[in-house]
Amino acid sequence: MNDAESVTGKVESIFFSNPSNLFKILLIKIKATTLKWGEDEIVVKGSFGDITEGDSYSFTGTLVDHPKYGKQFQAATYKSEQPTSRDGLVAYLASERFPGIGKKTAERIVDGLGLNAVDDILADPHVLDDCGVRGEKAATLVASLKENRGMEQVVIGLNGFGLSGNLAAKIYAQYREDSLDIIKTNPYQLVEDIDGVGFRTADGIAQQLGFAKDAPQRLGGALSSVLNTAADSEGDTFVEAKTAFGQVRSLLGDHAQQYTGDEAMLKVLQSQVADHKLVLEDGNIYTQTLYQAEWQIASQLSGLLDEGSAPDYGDERIDKTIHGVEKRLEIDYDETQLAAIHGALSHRIFLLTGGPGTGKTTIINAVVQSYAELNQIDMDPNNYKSDEMFPIMLAAPTGRAAKRMTETTNLPASTIHRLLGLGVDQTDYEARDLPDGLLIIDEMSMVDTYLMKILLNSVQPGMTVIFVGDKDQLPSVGPGQVFADMLASGALPSVELTHIHRQDTDSTIVQLAHAINEGKLPADLLKKHADRSFIACPPAQVPRAVMQVVSAAARREFDPLGVQVLAPMYRGDAGVDNLNPVVQNVFNPNDTGKRKEVDGGQYKYRIGDKVLQLVNNPDKNVFNGEIGIVTGIDKDEKGKNDSLTITFDDNEISYPRSEWGKITLAYATSIHKAQGSEFDMVILPLTMQSRRMLKRNLVYTAVTRAKQFLIMIGEPAAFELAVQTLAANRNTGLKKRLCSAFSIEEPAGDAEQQPAATPAVSQPAPVQVSEPVAEPATAAVAPDTAGEEPADTILTEDMVIRGTIDPLIGMHGVKPADFEHKE
Ligand X SMILES: Nc1ncnc2c1ncn2[C@@H]1O[C@H](COP(=O)(O)OP(=O)(O)OP(=O)(O)O)[C@@H](O)[C@H]1O
- Using CB under 6 A, list all residues that contact ligand X: 331-334, 337, 354, 356-362, 501-503
- Number of Cβ within a 10 Å radius of residue 718: 23
> What's the closest the beta carbon of residue 359 comes to ligand X, in angstroms?
4
Strands 349-354 and 464-469: parallel
Q: What's the rounded Cα separation, in Å, for the pair 417 and 619?
A: 11
Nearest-approach distance from CB 358 to ligand X, in angstroms: 4
Give me the least distance between CB of 560 and ligand X, in Å please: 22
* Nearest distance, CB of residue 318 and ligand X, angstroms: 18
What is the chain's length?
823
- What CA–CA distances, in Å, run from 672 to 403, 537, 698, 700? 18, 24, 8, 11
Q: Which residues contact 594 (CB under 8 A, 6 or more apart)?
A: none
Q: Which is nearer to ligand X, 227 or 703 (CB)?
A: 703
Nearer to ligand X, 50 or 334 (CB): 334
Q: Which is nearer to ligand X, 364 or 644 (CB)?
A: 364
Q: Is 360 annotated as a binding residue?
A: yes
CB of 515 to ligand X, least distance (A): 15
> Going along 106-160, which residue ranges are E strands?
none
Smallest distance from the beta carbon of 332 to ligand X, in angstroms?
A: 6
> 194 vs 345, which CB is nearer to ligand X?
345
CA–CA dist 311, 463 (Å, integer): 9
Rounded to the nearest 5°, which phi and psi values hold at 757? -75, 155
Q: Do residues 463 and 302 lie in contact, with contact meaning Cβ atoms separated by under 8 Å?
A: no
As measured in angstroms, the least distance from the Cβ of 404 to ligand X is 8
Q: Whole-number minimum distance, CB 304 to ligand X, in Å?
A: 25
Q: What angle do CA 679, 685, 689 make, to 5 degrees?
A: 145
Tell the smallest beta-carbon distance from residue 704 to ligand X (Å). 6
Shorter beta-carbon distance to ligand X: residue 170 or 696: 696
Query: How many angstroms separate the CA atoms of 249 and 231, rounded?
Result: 19
Q: Which is nearer to ligand X, 331 or 744 (CB)?
A: 331
Distance CA 151, CA 48 (A): 8
What sign has the CA pseudo-torsion 299, 303, 307, 313? negative
Closest to ligand X by CB, 289 vs 336, is 336
Which residues of 360-457 form beta strands (DSSP E)?
392-396, 413-415, 438-441
* Closer CB to ligand X, 397 or 538, in the complex: 397
359 is in an annotated binding site: yes
Question: Environment class of residue 274 by beta-carbon count within 10 Å: exposed (0-12), middle (13-18) or buried (19+)?
Answer: exposed
Q: Which parts of 569-642 are beta strand (E)?
A: 597-599, 604-606, 610-613, 627-634
Distances from the Cα of 107 to the Cαs of 97, 99, 232, 291, in angstroms? 16, 15, 56, 55
Q: Are 499 and 358 in contact (CB under 8 A)?
A: yes
Closest approach, Cβ 781 to ligand X, in A, equals 24
Report the C-alpha gap between 627 and 424 in whole angstroms: 18
Q: Which is nearer to ligand X, 10 or 502 (CB)?
A: 502
Give me the sign of the Cα torsion angle 298, 304, 310, 315: negative
> Nearest 5 degrees, angle CA 727-CA 730-CA 734?
140
State the minimum distance, in angstroms, from the CB of residue 518 to ligand X.
17
CA distance 659 to 664: 11
Closest to ligand X by CB, 321 vs 358, is 358
Q: How far is the CB of 429 from ligand X (least distance, A)?
A: 33
- Which CB atom, from 513 or from 582, has the smaller least distance to ligand X? 513
Instruction: Confirm or deny that 358 is annotated as ligand binding.
Output: yes
Nearer to ligand X, 431 or 702 (CB): 702
On whether the CB atoms of residues 759 and 337 are closer than 8 A, the answer is no
First to last CA, the chain: 48
Measured CA distances, 254 to 38, 210, 409 (Å): 58, 20, 59
CB 334 to ligand X: min, Å: 5
Smallest separation, CB 513 to ligand X (Å): 8
Least Å distance, CB 558 to ligand X, is 21
Q: Whose Cβ is closer to ligand X: residue 399's or residue 628's? A: 399
Give the strand pairing for 56-66 and 70-80.
antiparallel
Question: Checking DSSP bridges between strand 56-66 and strand 5-17, what pairing results, if any?
Answer: antiparallel
Closer residue to ligand X, CB minimum distance, 363 or 451: 363
In the DSSP assignment, the letter for residue 231 is I
Give the nearer residue to ligand X in terms of CB position, either 334 or 559: 334
Partnered with residue 648 across adjacent β-strands are 651
> Nearest-CA neighbor of 298 among 453, 462, 113?
453
**What H or E segment, with its residue span, contains residue 63?**
strand 56-66
How far apart (Å, rounded) are the C-alpha atoms in residues 706 and 562? Answer: 10
CA-atom Rg of the chain in angstroms: 31
DSSP secondary structure string, 649-695?
A: TTEEEEEEGGGGGGEEE-SEEETGGGTT--EEEEEEEE-GGGGGG--
Backbone φ and ψ for 458, nearest 5 degrees, come out as -90, -15
- Binding-site annotation: residue ranges for ATP: 357-361
